[in-house]
Chain A
Amino acid sequence: MNLDWSIIPASAGALARGALITIALTVLTMTIAVPCGIGVAMLRESKFRPVAFLATCFVELFRNLPIILVVYWAFYVMPVVFGIAFSPFITGLVALSLNNTAYNSETFRSGIKSIRKGQTEAALALGMSEGQAFRQIVLPQAWRRVLPVLATTWVTLFKDTSLVSVIAVGDLAHTAMQIRSQSFRVIEMLTAMAAIYWLLGYPQAKIADWIHKKFGVTE
């Protein structure tokens, strides 16, 4: 077997750019999907039935579709049906955000529900409004409870961003695949790609483990 590892230092710049895009996609997706997830969780608990129903439909739709399908759909169908076309990066971001919003909303909903009713009552008894009680008393406690789950979601998302490579977002997976098909250095590039994903993912997984230990259920 004829291996030529020199392709890797030669492509270092492109791979670094790809890795940065992968990280940016992960960070931006979570930045969007956390507040949106809280929002959808609140809508699902709405006393106004049609609103709760629509929120449930949203969650069940995007939670149960493969991400890669949502990515394709956003790329090919959205421009045709809705007349909106974004850059590949934004399209990938939309698709990942839809999926993660659905997941995060379920995470937050269970977190919010796990806070005793007495906590809200104590806040109301002080004269707080329902909104104040939720924001100041329930949500901060729910946050701590869901942090371990969010950390796991984060680690999964980091790897799942590779799915957007199918629509030519210049992320790490896409970049590596491009170099592979131009240089025919298949084994070298796949190995490099695996090493980079692992090296970046491993510390994140360790941080997630630490969060699990620190914030895991103590009651």
Chain B
Amino acid sequence: MTAATLAMQSAPRVVLQYRDVRKLYGDFVALSGVSMEVERGQVVCLIGPSGSGKSTLLRCTNALESLDGGELLFDGIPLPKDAASIRKVRQRMGMVFQNFELFPHKTAIQNIMMGPKTVLGLSEQESRARAEALLVKVGLSDKPENYPANLSGGQQQRVAIARALAMEPEVMLFDEPTSALDPETIGEVLNVMKALADDGMTMVVVTHEMTFARRVADHVVVFESGRILEQGPPTQIFDAPQQARTRDFLGHLGWDA
């Protein structure tokens, strides 16, 4: 048995645990007591209307936002408060943004090499080798020297996924990864995400793509007004929602439950 599989077995089954998480922006309650878990290897999709708190929860997960109450455990340990420890945690979580946020002054491959080089301190060759392998993985091995401005939205988002993967994270966080894309390029990004899920990557995905959530998620969480309306396997959420509000929300999206 390899060290890696031993580590997998000894590691806790639950990777992320949210306990009564609260977040305020001034008077606005963004999250009011959210509790949920993400298990290793699971794909968890967060769905719900805009402004319901899904993205906020995701941003709390890698400490881009601080909590105003409750607890968030990563591998059984509460998220640290000091900057150095927060950086260590972030290195183990990849994040993909709605607007890609590729670095426009860097080429595709330089974007991907950024993390390994500056954060992990890998050499130029090691970083490049890692980046090239990831470009193949996201189907962009022919565009290493393109600047983001010369890539389509779908291509940019695939580079952004590769950039996050270059840190070899344990968890990937996706914040509406296809919301800013033209309809015809959404598919290529979702396919990369599906392949990642099939590889066993633990993923938390904020999305409006119900077909993706239905097909790929192991667990779906429905948000409304800063709290969880309902959560369960996709078959329950999409075929037999327990809450009338879940049915309403899905109905607005044209989904017939």
User: Which residue of chain A has its CB nearest to the CB of B115?
Assistant: A126
A125 to B101, CA, bound (A): 11
Contact of B103 among A125, A130, A132, A137 (CB under 8 A): A137
A101-127 residues at the B interface, CB under 8 angstroms: 116, 118-119, 121-127
Q: Are A126 and B167 in contact (CB under 8 A)?
A: yes
Inside 8 A of A129's CB, which chain B residues have their CB?
A: 83, 87
A185 at interface by CB-CB < 8 Å: no
The answer to whether residues A118 and B103 also contact, given A127-B167, A129-B87 and a CB cut-off of 8 A, is no
A140 at interface by CB-CB < 8 Å: yes
Report the contact-size class of chain A (Cβ under 8 Å from the partner): 10 to 19
B179 to chain A, nearest CB (A): 14
Inside 8 A of A141's CB, which chain B residues have their CB?
A: 103-105
Q: Are A119 and B163 in contact (CB under 8 A)?
A: no
B88 at interface by CB-CB < 8 Å: yes
A127 to B87, CA, bound (A): 5
A72 to chain B, nearest CB (A): 43
B155 at interface by CB-CB < 8 Å: no
Inside 8 A of A180's CB, which chain B residues have their CB?
A: none
A4 to chain B, nearest CB (A): 57
**Considering the complex of A and B, which 3 residue pairs feature the smallest CB-CB distances, nearest first?**
A127-B91, A122-B101, A125-B95
22 residue pairs A–B, Cβ–Cβ below 8 Å: A116-B99, A118-B99, A118-B101, A122-B95, A122-B101, A125-B64, A125-B94, A125-B95, A126-B90, A126-B91, A126-B119, A126-B163, A127-B91, A127-B119, A127-B167, A128-B115, A129-B87, A132-B118, A132-B119, A140-B105, A141-B104, A144-B105
